[in-house]
């Protein structure tokens, strides 16, 4: 069964609105989760590392005030795209370290379309 | 993390072995080789990883050359459901808490 879930799976919003994407770890408690973005025909790009109980760590070039991350509990991280614009349209994917195992499990992704 | 080079695309006949190469000539001694794949419009899926020895699991085999400068992922009997983009990644830690940096990958098309 799924290890990581994301909600919603797809969302369409108007330019200027904010969109919240949830990432849930179903099998593991996760003090760390990762958020990626993938534009069409491109590879995944790491946006930020979500840390439970502390501030997220953002990759260079990612605006922390635009992409708000809240690691609310050991099983939930949220990414809020604030004042979304059409160029924010993308596939957003989270991942969760697999407990004591040596890899990460990725969520199914959320496709965002900003009109 | 060391850079990897993969062919942009490959075709494989259904039922045949798919051999996906990866060059990582600048890999350091304590960097692991990981393989993930991403089926269209889904999140990536972990396949296998190794340090220096060849590895096999229920999904695939990983062959790492003795000098560790390259590796090959082998899907022994490719099916249509194996059509995906395959990413070869090298990174220092085997721990899941280290971030994963994706390259451009190889788009594998399994042909009926």
Q: What are B76-112's pLDDT values in tens digits? A: 999 999 999 999 998 876 565 677 888 889 999 999 9
How much is the pLDDT for A28? 79
d(CA B3, CA B13): 29
Q: What is the pLDDT of residue A2?
A: 63
Query: Which pLDDT belongs to residue A61?
Result: 94
The mean per-residue pLDDT over the stretch A9-18 comes to 97
> How many Å apart are CA B72 and CA B35, to the nearest integer?
10
Query: What pLDDT does residue A27 have?
Result: 83
Do residues B99 and A47 make contact, with C-beta atoms less than 8 angstroms apart?
A: no
Q: What percent of chain A has pLDDT over 90?
A: 78
Mutate to test the interface with B, among A49, A58, A102 (most CBs of B within 10 A): A102
Q: Any CB–CB contact under 8 A between B101 and chain A? A: yes
Output the CA torsion sign for B87, B90, B94, B98.
negative
Quickly tell me which residue has 């369409």 as its tokens.
A12
pLDDT band at A78 (very low <50, low <70, confident <90, very high): very high
Average pLDDT over residues A84-94: 97
E runs forming strands in A1-115:
4-7, 10-13, 19-25, 32-38, 45-51, 57-58, 67-73, 76-81, 90-97, 104-106, 110-114
Q: Please state, in angstroms and rounded to a whole number, the distance separating the CA atoms of residues A3 and A11.
A: 22
Position A97 confidence tier, pLDDT thresholds 50, 70, 90: confident
Cβ atoms of residues A4 and A26 within 8 Å: yes
Judged by a CB distance cut-off of 8 A, whether residue A60 touches chain B is no
> Any chain A CB within 8 A of the CB of B44?
yes
The answer to whether residue A79 neighbours chain B at the CB level (below 8 Å) is: no
């Amino acid at each position: 069964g799924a290890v990581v879930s994301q909600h919603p799976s797809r969302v369409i919003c108007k330019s200027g609105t904010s969109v919240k994407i949830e990432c849930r770890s179903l099998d593991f408690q996760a003090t760390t989760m990762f958020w990626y973005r993938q534009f069409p025909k491109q590879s995944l790009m790491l946006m930020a590392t979500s840390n439970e109980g502390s501030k997220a760590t953002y990759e260079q070039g990612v605006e922390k005030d635009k992409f708000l991350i809240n690691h609310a509990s050991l099983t939930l991280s949220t990414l809020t795209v604030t004042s979304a614009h059409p160029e924010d349209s993308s596939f957003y994917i989270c991942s969760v370290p697999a407990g004591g195992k040596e890899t990460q499990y990725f969520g199914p992704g959320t496709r965002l379309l900003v009109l | 993390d060391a850079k990897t080079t993969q062919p942009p695309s490959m075709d494989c006949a259904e039922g045949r072995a798919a051999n996906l190469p990866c060059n990582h000539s600048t890999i350091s001694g304590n960097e692991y080789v990981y393989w993930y794949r991403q089926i269209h419009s889904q999140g990536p899926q972990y396949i296998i990883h190794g340090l220096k020895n060849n590895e096999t699991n229920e999904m695939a085999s990983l062959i790492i050359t003795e000098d560790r400068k390259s590796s090959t992922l082998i899907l022994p009997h490719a099916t249509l459901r194996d059509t995906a983009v395959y990413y070869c990644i090298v990174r220092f830690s085997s721990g899941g808490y280290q971030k994963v940096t994706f390259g451009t990958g190889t788009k594998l098309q399994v042909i009926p």
